[in-house]
Structure 1
């Protein structure tokens, strides 16, 4: 067993590409769900978080 594997070299690595703060929109989660379902073959994943009075949408590349 090799204990010298760099965690960033593991399959399944997720890298943040971009993020954007937007006004709160109760239906934005539907857009994120739609993007995740339709763009996963392009190794993209989308996330949505609420911070204070804004929402943050993030785009990740998945290896």
Structure 2
């Protein structure tokens, strides 16, 4: 089985938002065929911020 190489293209820190995961989910569903993946996580140092990352797969 071939492993997929995942490369982070960019990350941006944003204010925490309850609905931001909906945008990330929509982007992942829409753009997966273009070898793009999107991630969202709480900032480890500041729980009031989120980190949005774009990956190329």
TM-score range for the pair, normalised by the shorter chain length: 0.7 to 0.9
**Alpha-carbon distance in structure 1 between the residues aligned to 2:19 and 2:5:** 28
TM-score normalized by structure 2? 0.88
Q: Unpaired segments of 5 or more residues in structure 1?
A: 1-9
Residue aligning to 1:44: 36
**Alpha-carbon distance in structure 1 between the residues aligned to 2:56 and 2:3:** 12
TM-score normalized by structure 1? 0.80
The alignment's C-alpha RMSD in Å is: 1.0
The number of residues matched between the two structures is 53
Q: Unpaired segments of 5 or more residues in structure 2?
A: none
Residue aligning to 1:15: 7
- Structure of greater Rg: 1
